[in-house]
Amino acid sequence: AKVRHYKFDVEYFFKSVDCVERLVMGINGQFPGPTIRAEVGDTLDIAVTNKLSTDETTIHWHGIRQYGTPWADGTAFVTQCAINSGETFHYRFKVDKAGTFFYHAHNRLQITGGLYGSLIVDLPNGQKEPFHYDDEIILLFSDWWHKSVQEQDVGLTNKYENFRWVWEAQSILINGRGQFGCSLGANFINHSLPVCHFKGDEDCAPYILSVLPNKTYRIRIASVTSLLSLNLAISNHKMVVVEADGYYVQPFTVDNIDIYSGESYSVLLTTDQNPNQNYWISVGHRDANVSTTQALTLLNYNIIPASVLPSSPPPVTPPWDDDKGRKDFAKRFVALKGTPKPPKYSNRRIVLLGMQVLIDDYLRWSMNGISLEFPPTPYLGSMKFNLRNAFDWQDPPENYPQDYDIYSPPEYDNSTLGNMVYKFELNQVVDVILQNANSYVLNATAYHPWHLHGHDFWVLAYGEGKFKDGDEKLFNLENPPMKNTVAVFPYSWTAIRFRADNPGVWLFHCHMEPHFLVGMGVVFAEGVQYVNGIPEQALACGLTAEMLIDKGHDL
């Protein structure tokens, strides 16, 4: 095992990522940030310097458990102080599992701003994947907005009369490239847009997937959208799904694949079609009331030029309200033999009802009536040093009123802002039922991809309506897939199980940034007394803080 050193300078620069010049938050002048590649057992040592003149930041390593290094999880207000402009924070942690991961900023709307990149962990030399492939391609999907992050943030967090929903993304990006105002598929799909013409060296020229005939490619896919739920399809080619969030699954074949923000997959693609033509790669969204054009690029067999457009139309993204298709897809995932099995019983069950509510004239999301608002002091240090005034130490609610009607807008709501923590015994087995309900307006609901930090969980079941006693019999305890992000469907529930075996403080939240920003998350903690070696920089900032810490405490 090696120690791999990276130096990340986070900064703003101008770039035409979708053919329109805007500010982007990037790393070392690159957008998306550099791809990190390591082997299982390696230690990553990443010095992140914040050169954004206007923002504090942190970087989260999405899918890495941070076992023993909870302070390196990169969640502002939870595991560390945000890195001030001009300061450097050293993340140092072990990657303990192979898979397709990514990293992103974890403060305010900085994913929306473009601060992300891929993180791939390979098996140690000599070990083999349970499937064969000749080569691989990495695809990172995101959505892109022309309105500044600051304007979006203020629009979401102001009083209701000033509330401005972000509405729709201007573009969908494939590896940081999109096309606004033109479409490669304009002749087929949208007569109001011109066809794009590229020389190939433009910032917004599509990322071409170039392949050789009669090979098998592992395509690693991850979505780090701010908001959109996406669907990928490739003309004339099937995909075999083999990995989800860093775990192998029983392979299954699909024509298209849904991917929500925070998820990652590997699919195998065999290049067995006519090599004398190019094929569409389409990434469309599945959101209601959004007209963002599908992102298109080409699969090119390296025989004809990559600029030749296919003569047939690109795949059509399934409609947003195709609930059944989305659920059927989610339910096809079964763990590959050899994946850890869940404990037969849990010691604790938390049912979390997500509600969109008005609190003191602010539009917020709440979970069991609590809308998460971070305390100014990060939880990890507060809990470790038992600072009783740093946040509300009461236990948050484990359930919601049983007569609550999930099919109507929240009528009366006693939701409040809060910052309580669900505290687990170390090694406790915890079930969480995520309950979806009607949003603030009648007949409106949303899909929410929930992501857990510090743990992977078993996805035990997806169920319809309201979760009720007895629904445990729907749980798959035999071969449930393990994931770190899972979708909750409209008027439905999703059940997960995990072992609280990682001392630290961990976020569990909707990965849609505009939802999380206004409270759609909860905080979990276990065994914080066993956490040692929290760096001073995570607890406080600047040299004066270090000086005071040196004088006062022996950490």
Q: Which is nearer to ligand C2O, 453 or 466 (CB)?
A: 453
125 CB-contact burial (10 Å; exposed 0-12 / middle 13-18 / buried 19+): exposed
The dihedral formed by the CA atoms of 198, 201, 202 and 203, expressed in degrees to the nearest 10: 140
Binding partner of 218, given Cu ion, ligand C2O, none, CB within 5-8 angstroms per partner class: none
Helix (H) / strand (E) containing 117:
strand 116-122
Nearer to Cu ion, 282 or 368 (CB): 368
Q: Which amino acid is at 140?
A: L
* Shortest CB 104 distance to ligand C2O, Å: 6
499 is a site residue for ligand C2O (CB under 6 A): no
Across-strand partners of 11? Answer: 26
285: β partners: 230
The DSSP code sequence of 298-335 is EEE-SSS-TTPPPSSPPPPPPPTT-HHHHHHHHHT--B
Where in 36-75 is the site for ligand C2O (CB under 6 A)? 60, 62
One residue of 512, 531, 534, 538 binding Cu ion per CB under 5 A: 512
| Cβ-based nearer residue to ligand C2O, 179 or 484 | 484
Which of 360, 349, 387 is closest to 505 using CA atoms?
Answer: 387
How many CB atoms are located within 10 Å of the residue 375 CB?
16
Place of tokens 């035409």: 16
Site string for ligand C2O, 258-297 (x = CB under 6 A): ----x-----------------------------------
CA distance 355 to 485: 20
Q: Which two tokens stand for residue 388?
A: 């009783």
For Cu ion, which residue of 510, 517, 534, 538 counts as binding (CB under 5 A)? Answer: 510
Tokens coding 197: 């013409």
Nearer to ligand C2O, 60 or 455 (CB): 60
Among 17, 172, 421, 507, binds ligand C2O (CB under 6 A): 507
In sequence order, the β-bridge partners of residue 116 are 104
Nearest approach, Cβ of residue 101 and ligand C2O (Å): 10
Nearer to ligand C2O (CB atom), residue 256 or residue 502: 502
As a whole number of angstroms, the distance between CA 340 and CA 482 comes to 8
Region of 43-51, 141-149, 159-167, 507-515 interacting with ligand C2O (CB under 6 A):
507-515
Q: How many residues form the binding site for Cu ion (CB under 5 A)?
A: 4
Interface pick for ligand C2O out of 406, 509, 526, 528 (rule CB under 6 A): 509
Which uninterrupted H or E stretch holds 550?
helix 542-552
Supply the minimum distance, in Å, between the C-beta of residue 73 and Cu ion: 20
Q: Are 470 and 388 in contact (CB under 8 A)?
A: no
Q: Which two tokens stand for residue 71?
A: 């302070």
Cis peptide before 32 (omega within 30 of 0): yes
Touching ligand C2O, residues 440-479 (CB under 6 A): 451, 453
Residue 507 touches which member of Cu ion, ligand C2O, none, C-beta under 5-8 Å by kind: ligand C2O
Minimal CB distance residue for ligand C2O: 62
Contact flags string 89-118 toward ligand C2O, x per CB under 6 A = ---------------x-x------------
Q: Least Å distance between CB 475 and ligand C2O?
A: 26
Binding site for ligand C2O (CB under 6 A): 60, 62, 104, 106, 262, 451, 453, 507, 509, 511
